[in-house]
Structure 1
Amino acid sequence: MVSVLHVSDFDGAVEWYVRWIGRKPDVTPDEGIAEWQLADNAWIQVSVAPDPSLAGKSFVVCGVRNIEAQRDVLQDAGIPASEIQDLGFIKLAQISDPAGNTVMFVQEM
């Protein structure tokens, strides 16, 4: 599965994702496209929006084992995260990239 996140400022977005993920892109298949493999079958692709109105409108959900630890990692990387919400069956927190795309982290209870 590849989740595509459209951005308008490619270089700024790549810098932000490097801070979040902790490494440079695994693949840069073409100009304006960067990809990170998050799991065996899960990738995030950051790409320049073909239409500027598409930038910042994507939403990705990432499952995590420990939401508190994930939030700590984000804060240590200088990425502001929402407060953790406990919905009883899941806990979640979210971040937004510079374009406005949302990445939600979810821990099943």
Structure 2
Amino acid sequence: MTLDLFAGIPVTDYPAALKWYERLLGSPPTFIASDTEAVWELAEHRYVYVEQRPEHAGHAMHTIFIEDLDTRVAQIAERGIDPAQQETYSNGVRKTTYRDPDGNEIGFGGAPL
């Protein structure tokens, strides 16, 4: 059975969010679903999307696990976005969290070094 995951991020200002997420994710959206919704495919059958829904903006919390956390964080910094928080859990797993202009949290996690 194939599963698709669509993780939604409600935003107040779609055009501003579109630009911010392009910088965070390093590419334009995979496709534009509507005038107020953009979708990025992060891996096969795994998507994140932003949608203008001001009444819900600021409450998303997503973590994306990747192989090379340090490289990803450095690439995001080169695009002008600094992390809001960096932490290492007791088991050595690391997480770097970013907050979009609405306060939605997008984290990137990685295995211990």
User: What TM-score, normalized to structure 1?
Assistant: 0.90
Identity of aligned residues (%): 21
Q: Which residue of 2 aligns with 1:9?
A: 13
Within 1, Cα distance between the matches of 2:57 and 2:72? 25
Counterparts in 2 of 1:104 and 1:35: CA distance versus 1, 3 Å: same
Uncovered stretches (5+) of structure 2, i.e. residues with no partner:
none
The 8 Å contact of residues 84 and 99 in structure 2, kept in 1 or not, is answered as no
- SS for the counterpart of 2:55 is helix
Count residues with an aligned counterpart.
107
- SS for the counterpart of 1:84 is strand
Give deviations 1:81-100, integer Å, cap 9, x for gaps. 14532214211110011111
- SS for the counterpart of 2:82 is coil
Which of the residues 86, 100, 103 maps onto 1:100?
A: 103
- Aligned amino acid, residue 5 of structure 1: I
Give deviations 1:56-82, integer Å, cap 9, x for gaps. 110111001122212111111101114
RMSD after superposition: 1.3
Which of the residues 28, 47, 68 maps onto 2:51?
A: 47
Uncovered stretches (5+) of structure 1, i.e. residues with no partner:
none
